[in-house]
């Protein structure tokens, strides 16, 4: 959604705000993506899973920046934002449909540090909330 906002930004301030939301969502994404990805695979495959996540991050500036620059020169500065918004929407849809629903076992880390927090945290599955937060932030 923030990328689409950037594409439609009527002023520089709105563009800056959209880009700021995207940057902040990256911090959220990288705080939960490796644990979720590794939890889906057996221990002997987890190193490769994290490596593949890192390869995507390394290739993004190598492939994405030149492609985005070329697309921007061909179709205007908004075109790369539109392309990324579409790709992000497709990725979010795929994640929401394909990521398995899993329950986190009851533990002190799930309940939080105060008894009141347990009622809020236990009211819905942890990964579902995380998945929704990442999906909204990244789209």
Residue that is written with structure tokens 């347990």 in the block: 118
Residues whose CB falls within 8 Å of the CB of residue 15, separated by 6 or more in sequence, listed in order: 6, 9
pLDDT at 77: 92
Per residue in 72-97, pLDDT (tens digit) is 999 999 999 999 999 989 988 988 88
Give the pLDDT score at 40: 83
Torsion of CA 48, 54, 58, 61, to 10 degrees: 130
Task: Find tokens 């990521």 and name the residue.
Answer: 99
User: What pLDDT is recorded for position 111?
Assistant: 54
- The residue-averaged pLDDT of 12-22 equals 91
Looking at residue 118, its pLDDT comes to 47
18, 5 contact by CB (below 8 A): yes
Residue pLDDT, tens place only, 96-112: 888 777 665 665 555 55
Tell which residue, 70, 66, 88, has the closest CA to residue 21: 88
């Amino acid at each position: 959604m923030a990328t689409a906002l950037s594409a439609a930004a009527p002023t520089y301030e709105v563009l800056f705000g959209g880009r700021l939301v995207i940057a902040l969502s990256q911090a959220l994404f990288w705080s939960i993506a490796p644990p979720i990805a590794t939890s889906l695979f057996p221990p002997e495959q987890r190193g490769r899973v994290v490596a593949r996540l890192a390869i995507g991050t390394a290739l993004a500036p190598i492939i994405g920046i030149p492609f985005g620059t070329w697309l921007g020169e061909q179709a205007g500065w908004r075109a790369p934002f539109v392309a990324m918004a579409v790709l992000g929407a497709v990725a979010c849809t795929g994640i929401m449909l394909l990521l398995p629903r899993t329950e986190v076992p009851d533990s002190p880390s799930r309940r939080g540090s105060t008894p009141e927090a347990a009622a809020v945290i236990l009211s819905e599955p942890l990964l579902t909330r995380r998945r929704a937060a990442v999906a909204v932030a990244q789209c």
